[in-house]
Amino acid sequence: MTPDPVAELAERAFGLKYLYPVQRLVIANVLEGADQIVVLPTGAGKSLCFQLPSRVLDGVTLVVVPLLSLLEDQLARCRKLDLPAEALRGGQDTGERRRIAQRAARGELCLLYTTPEALATAGVGELLRAVRVAHAVVDEAHCVAEWGPEFRPAYLELGRRLREIGAGRLSAFTATASPATLQAVRKHLFGGREPVLVQTDPDRPNLRYRFPEVLSKQRALAELLAGAGRPALVFCRSRPAAESAARLLRRRLATEEVYFYHAGLEAGERRRVESWFLRSRNGVLTATSAYGLGVDKPDIRTVVHRDVPYSVEAYLQETGRAGRDGRPAECVLLHGPEDLAFAEEPGLTSELERRRYRRLLELVRDPGTCRRQALLEALGLPPPPCAGCDVCAGQAGRPAEGLPQLAAFFRRHGRRFTPRQAVQVLAGRACYEVVRDELDCYRGFGLLGGWEPEDITEALEALRASGALRLPERGFWKGRLAPSGAAWPSGRAGARLEGRLTRCQ
């Protein structure tokens, strides 16, 4: 039998007795000098596709990554594999960078990691022009489209800079890519050259998707995490949201096994949190999108999105952290009125971002289309058979928890209570403004008695944001909550509740 040098190298250097066919194809393209865009689902072993050929190419493999945490994670893996690797990054002095570049020029390194911003530095570009870059790799290439147009312009110059340093061949890797993202990657990275496209089905059959509508995200989050599989990862839209979610879960779950992570943490603190979560078997990490790109924690059983992400690609990238060991995992996306309002806020700084966000929001709020089908079709891919989602299980489209009760309550008691009074009445707590004897006759007293007052406050604010409740600022009913005539839930549950509240006087 003719020896297979790629398979032999995979077993000898990486301890792998088998390569997936798509890995063989991507590696063959690298060895043959072809440019390529590679779309592989999370956990499919894309790092091997450039690490293995780096051992045999005549020159260094330059890998551009979006985050320093990912860079550190990749260097740690290289050390475990005894794979010579270094990094050019911000904060290094000229002498250190020159030493690293000289090692690469002498053939002592297989891999050299950097970031788009570091590569854009004049000194780094000059050093790399003296190095033979046999293969340039852009990892998490969807960031070209997701981040480049707005707050990381170095991504838009990345292709030109790689051509200036004389990179021999270019591979762009990502886990998800819509047709628009692929077009942006071709434009900004390949400069008119037509790369080979290697694309596999990004569906992960072991993941189950659920998109419940909620009024109080903090209540929903605590209730969900109390019974969810662990370890669990909670994605939040902002740094303050990640921090407050961690404090909430520590308090309500009565556990110390909850930490938050975002780019605002000091480097040492980020490394400590990353190390803790990688080892944890029962922890909960609340994080922004700064966590997770390329980080290999295989046993995450639950990924929760507290907020609707910015795009379908971002959602699939982040849910891809779950179940990388192949075992079942759950992906839950909480959505409510505040997510609808966010589509008009300054957080979305371009019309392109707004379109992407609204596309995902429409998908999330649609209770009639299989989640898998909708997600894959948004990427321009044929839908697979559903392996598990709330729509196909007949569990989608249910009213948000507390919504029928609040609808019945305010239809009967509109213009009667201030927000503070309404919270006290619904929670079953007396307040000075409304005497207990009067409360007893309402039977709305304690209607949400199992809720924390702060959760009821959040729900009322959500209903105001949606337009279902209004708070007049002038006139006789100033400062008292009233239904606005916007859509409230109907049907048997709402009718029973409203009937019970009507009969109580």
CA distance 72 to 126: 24
Is 257 a residue whose pLDDT tops 60? yes
| Domain spanning 5-199, CATH class | alpha beta
Q: Please, what is the angle between helix 419-427 and helix 453-466, to 10°?
A: 130
- pLDDT reported for residue 487: 53
- pLDDT reported for residue 335: 96
C-alpha angle with apex 351: 346 to 352, nearest 5 degrees?
A: 115
- pLDDT reported for residue 295: 67
Is 87 a residue whose pLDDT tops 70? yes
Is 63 a residue whose pLDDT tops 70? yes
Strands of 329-333's sheet, edge to edge? 207-210, 329-333, 302-305, 232-235, 284-287, 258-261
Specify the CATH architecture of the domain 207-378: 3-Layer(aba) Sandwich (3.40)
Distances from the Cα of 169 to the Cα of 37, 62, 141, 189, angstroms: 11, 10, 15, 11
- pLDDT reported for residue 136: 96
Is 501 a residue whose pLDDT tops 50? no
% of the chain at pLDDT higher than 70: 90
Span 122-151, mean pLDDT?
Answer: 84
Amino acid 142 reads H
Is 320 a residue whose pLDDT tops 90? no
CA distance 415 to 423: 14
Q: Which residues of 184-212 are buried (b: 16+ CB within 10 A; e: fewer)?
A: bbbebbbeeeebeebbeebbbebbbbbbb
Strands 482-483 vs 469-470: parallel, antiparallel or unpaired:
antiparallel
For 151, the token pair is 């707050």
- pLDDT reported for residue 490: 45
Domains 5-199 and 207-378 share a fold: yes
Q: What is the pLDDT of residues 362-375, one digit of tens each?
A: 999 999 999 999 99
Is 3 a residue whose pLDDT tops 80? no
**347-356, 424-433, 474-483, 492-501, range with the lowest pLDDT:** 492-501
% of the chain at pLDDT higher than 90: 51
- pLDDT reported for residue 491: 38
Is 2 a residue whose pLDDT tops 60? no
- Residue 180 pLDDT class (50, 70, 90 cuts): confident
User: Is the CB of residue 371 less than 8 Å from the CB of residue 389?
Assistant: yes
Find all residues with CB under 8 Å of 182, minimum gap 6, and list them.
37, 197
- pLDDT reported for residue 505: 36
CA distance 306 to 312: 15
CA distance 233 to 309: 14
Span 222-226, mean pLDDT?
Answer: 96
- pLDDT reported for residue 233: 97
Q: What is the pLDDT of residues 68-80, one digit of tens each?
A: 777 888 898 899 8
Span 301-327, mean pLDDT?
Answer: 91
Average pLDDT of the chain to the nearest whole number: 86
- Residue 147 pLDDT class (50, 70, 90 cuts): low
- Residue 504 pLDDT class (50, 70, 90 cuts): very low
- pLDDT reported for residue 495: 39
- pLDDT reported for residue 155: 85
Q: List strand residue ranges (DSSP E) for 65-158, in order.
A: 85-87, 111-114, 133-138
Is 488 a residue whose pLDDT tops 70? no
- pLDDT reported for residue 434: 55
**175-179, 232-236, 326-330, 396-400, range with the lowest pLDDT:** 175-179
Position with higher pLDDT, 150 vs 91 = 91
- Residue 493 pLDDT class (50, 70, 90 cuts): very low
The position carrying tokens 């957080």 is 347
Q: What is the pLDDT of residues 409-462, one digit of tens each?
A: 998 888 888 999 999 999 987 665 555 555 544 567 888 988 999 999 999 999
Strand partners, 431: 434
Give the domain ranges of the chain.
Answer: 5-199, 207-378, 403-503
Fold of 403-503: Arc Repressor Mutant, subunit A (1.10.10)
Is 259 a residue whose pLDDT tops 60? yes
- Residue 46 pLDDT class (50, 70, 90 cuts): confident
Is 486 a residue whose pLDDT tops 60? no
| Residue positions counted in the chain | 505
Q: Please return the burial class of 431, using the count of CB atoms within 10 Å of its CB with bins 0-12, 13-18 and 19+.
A: middle
User: Is the CB of residue 441 less than 8 Å from the CB of residue 504?
Assistant: yes
Is 234 a residue whose pLDDT tops 90? yes
